[in-house]
């Protein structure tokens, strides 16, 4: 999609002008890192996607296209838990639309004015329900709170004598370009030491517990291990659902051994799992893109592997075990630090694939409102990473051009059998930024539920 399409649509909206956007950007403070920098560069130059200068040939995540006035609510007051309230503002229209039979018998909603935190509409907003992938909003906020937007995840090679160990740091974004860069650096370091043959081990001990998600082997998610390349995909060029390896760490180590061999380093035995030998010292390292970019990619593409990786990074920063259970405790702990409304919440995973997850519509709008607060600029990637209706990510094929929500609704989708959700922001016709969350359970069909959710969000534009 040409970037100019979203830019033209956004700037053409009569009630959402560039002056408003400029004021919002100024209120946001310095664009010092992550998506804020990328958005500024994109808006100024509309450059095509570039490459990561840290790793030659590695693609840098493209900035999510952003309607300028999506940042209009950045002067938001601290979020409070929306309580059930008599419909006001959009209430009458939403009360009718939320009765759509496509949403099934279980439905909750919350709509909040971002700049003030004022509840505009609530329907059982405090009731916790399975959120599907909208739980990634909570994962994103927790990770950014614990680690900051500039955090990068390392993958390291350490050496002791003629033994080297590839140490997984939990970077689910590690791809072949980064692994080639690591092989280049490792080969150079070994040549400097006069070593042309080594034994190779690989260490995945950073993560704990069962690496398999409760759904088992599944094309939606590889085993959650500390070392993988291309998310354990059998087809490294695939996206979304796709066949996954049952041994992503071993595959990554074997590929690394092959790359070292191509660079003149002989591997004397097949790579074997194991921790670094005593006295090992760092030899080479590559690091992921900043956490701000990883969060955006996770939200835009609904990337389950990244979500689970970031939940575990949150666990490590919080002093918790890097397992499903430890990550759940850590996410809750970080959200509690922000004084989020957590009654009834459960974080059984970071991706939303687990049906035991529970969050409320009120929690989701509180998280979005907090991400817009000038007191928390490090959370801004939560907003800028949301898919744009009709243009990007999981909303690319929803909201046709004739929909009033196209280009103005930005939202995280959630889809499991019988569970559908949508949560994000929308620029209303008067320029206000609204945060919304709609959760539906026991839905009769995915398509009917998605259409009903899209109509709810689009109705907020007016």
3-state percent helix, strand, coil for the chain, nearest multiple of 5: 35, 20, 45
CATH of domain 154-288: 3.50.80.20
350 phi/psi in degrees, rounded to 5:
-100, -10
Q: Encoding tokens for residue 379?
A: 């959370």
pLDDT in tens, 357-415: 999 999 999 999 999 999 999 999 999 999 999 999 999 999 987 888 999 999 999 99
Buried b (16+ CB within 10 A) or exposed e, 70-102: bbbbbbbbebbbbeeeebebbbebbeebbebeb
- Which CATH number is associated with domain 3-148+292-302+325-459? 3.40.710.10
Contact 351, 137 (CB under 8 A): no
Q: How many CA atoms lie within 13 A of 434 on its CB side?
A: 26
pLDDT at res. 385:
98
Question: What residues act catalytically?
Answer: 133, 136, 302
Give me the helix-helix angle, 136-147 and 361-371, nearest 10°: 40
pTM for the model: 0.84
pLDDT under 50 in the chain at which residues? 1-88
Q: Is residue 86 helix, strand or coil?
A: coil
> Which residues fall within 8 angstroms of residue 452, CB to CB, at 6 or more apart?
97, 100, 102, 103, 440
- Contact by Cβ (8 Å): 311, 349: yes
Could you give the angle at the alpha carbon of 361 between the alpha carbons of 357 and 362, nearest 5°? 115
Residues of the chain with CATH 3.40.710.10: 3-148+292-302+325-459
Q: Tell me which H or E stretch contains 362.
A: helix 361-371
The ranges of the chain annotated as CATH 3.50.80.20 are 154-288
Within 10 angstroms of residue 160's Cβ, the number of other Cβ atoms is 14
The pLDDT of residue 89 is 60
Q: What is the rounded distance in angstroms from the CA atom of residue 160 to the CA atom of residue 293?
A: 34
pLDDT of residue 240: 87
Are residues 276 and 200 in contact, defined by beta-carbon separation less than 8 angstroms?
no
Contact between 411 and 432 under an 8 Å Cβ cutoff? The reply is no
């Amino acid at each position: 999609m040409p970037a100019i399409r979203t830019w033209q649509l956004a700037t053409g909206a009569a009630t959402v002008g560039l002056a408003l956007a400029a004021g919002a950007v100024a209120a946001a403070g310095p664009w010092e890192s992550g998506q804020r920098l990328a958005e500024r560069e994109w808006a100024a130059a509309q450059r095509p996607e570039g490459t990561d200068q840290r790793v030659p040939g590695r693609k840098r995540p493209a900035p999510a296209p952003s309607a300028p006035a999506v940042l209009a609510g950045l002067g938001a007051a601290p979020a409070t838990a929306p309580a059930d309230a008599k419909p006001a503002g959009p209430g009458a229209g939403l009360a009718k639309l939320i009765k759509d039979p496509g949403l099934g018998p279980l439905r909750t909603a919350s709509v909040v004015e971002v700049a003030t935190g004022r509840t505009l509409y609530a329907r059982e907003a405090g009731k916790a329900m399975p959120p599907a992938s909208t739980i990634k909003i909570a994962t994103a906020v927790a990770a950014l709170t614990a680690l900051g937007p500039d955090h990068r995840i390392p993958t390291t090679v350490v050496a002791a004598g003629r033994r080297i160990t590839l140490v997984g740091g939990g970077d689910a974004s590690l791809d072949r370009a980064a692994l080639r860069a690591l092989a280049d650096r490792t080969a150079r370091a070994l040549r400097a030491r006069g070593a042309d043959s080594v034994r190779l081990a690989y260490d995945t001990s950073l993560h704990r517990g069962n690496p398999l998600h409760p759904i088992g082997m599944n094309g939606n998610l590889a085993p959650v291990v500390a070392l993988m390349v291309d998310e354990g995909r059998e087809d490294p060029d695939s996206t979304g659902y796709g066949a996954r390896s049952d041994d992503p760490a071993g595959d990554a180590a074997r590929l690394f051994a092959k790359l070292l061999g191509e660079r003149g380093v002989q591997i004397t035995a097949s790579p074997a799992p194991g921790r670094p030998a005593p006295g090992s010292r760092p030899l080479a390292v590559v690091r992921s893109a900043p956490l701000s970019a990883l969060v955006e990619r996770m939200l835009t593409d609904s990337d389950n592997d990244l979500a689970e990786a970031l939940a575990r990074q949150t666990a490590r920063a919080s002093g918790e075990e890097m397992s499903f259970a430890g990550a759940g405790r850590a996410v809750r702990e970080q959200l509690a630090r922000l004084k989020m409304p957590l009654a009834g919440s459960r974080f059984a995973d970071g991706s939303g694939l687990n049906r035991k997850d529970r969050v409320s519509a009120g929690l989701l709008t509180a998280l979005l409102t907090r991400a817009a607060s000038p007191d928390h600029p490090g959370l801004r990637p939560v907003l800028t990473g949301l898919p744009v209706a009709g243009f990007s990510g999981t909303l690319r094929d929803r909201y046709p051009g004739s929909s009033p929500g196209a280009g103005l609704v930005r939202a995280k989708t959630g889809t499991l059998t019988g569970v559908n959700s949508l949560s994000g922001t929308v620029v209303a016709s008067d320029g206000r930024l609204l945060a919304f969350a709609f959760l539906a359970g026991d839905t009769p069909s995915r398509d009917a539920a998605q259409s009903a959710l899209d109509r709810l969000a689009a109705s907020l534009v007016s």
